[in-house]
Amino acid sequence: MREIVLWGASGHARVLAEFLGALDYAVVALVDNDPALTSFLPGVPLLHDEAALREWRGAHAGDLFALVAIGGARGAERLALQHALSAAGYTIPTAVHPRAFVAADAELGAGTHVLALAAVAAAARLGAGCIVNTSASVDHECRLDDGVHIGPGATLAGNVTVGRNAFIGTGAAVIPNVTIGAGAIVGAGSVVVRDVPANTIVYGNPARVARAVAE
């Protein structure tokens, strides 16, 4: 099996670890900055910072893969860590759950995760470090920039454009041809019927701007 490191050791890492074996990967190390966490995988070390990872890597020969297992509205952090891992020589794959659907002509960027029962439809284009979470749907010809997270059960209709590091909350629905700006956050269960400005938080049915995203 191919050996892979996960940066993250909480919920999203558990989700990835559950099915990576079916993709012929073996998790050989976890990394997380939270000193209170312990490894949830028997026999797999949990390292707590980049220095510990470098020390571990120095004693671990061979090619290694890596994924950043950080969910939520943390696209910028996910991309920064993915860039650092790539620069350190790790190969960044995609991870598609065996029970997800990805159209043959869809494109997934490096480090993108498509989780169980999710769907990515025809001619969709997803950038690097995206998450299409459990049971989410990204319909035909959608465009997701790097670092986008589509939350569990959220639905994007056709031709939706989502800007870099935006987050679509659990169960939200977005009608066709809408643009969601970079860094925007769409609240859980919201119904988006018009364009969403960059770096704003919207929620409700129909979704309305509530405030700017805090710096």
**CA dihedral for 114, 1, 5, 8, sign (positive or negative):** positive
Residue 206 preceded by cis peptide, ω within 30: yes
Active site residue 140: yes
- Dig out the tokens for 1 from the structure: 């099996």
Kindly state the DSSP code that residue 213 receives in the 8-state scheme: P
Place of tokens 């997270």: 149
Coil vs helix vs strand at 170: coil
Annotated catalytic residue within 12, 97, 113, 140 = 140
Q: What is the 3-state secondary structure (H, E, C) of 90-151?
A: CECCCEECCCCEECCCCEECCCCEECCCCEECCCCEECCCCEECCCCEECCCCEECCCCEEC
Calpha distance 67→145 (Å, rounded): 18
Calpha distance 179→174 (Å, rounded): 9
Provide the annotated active-site residues. 140
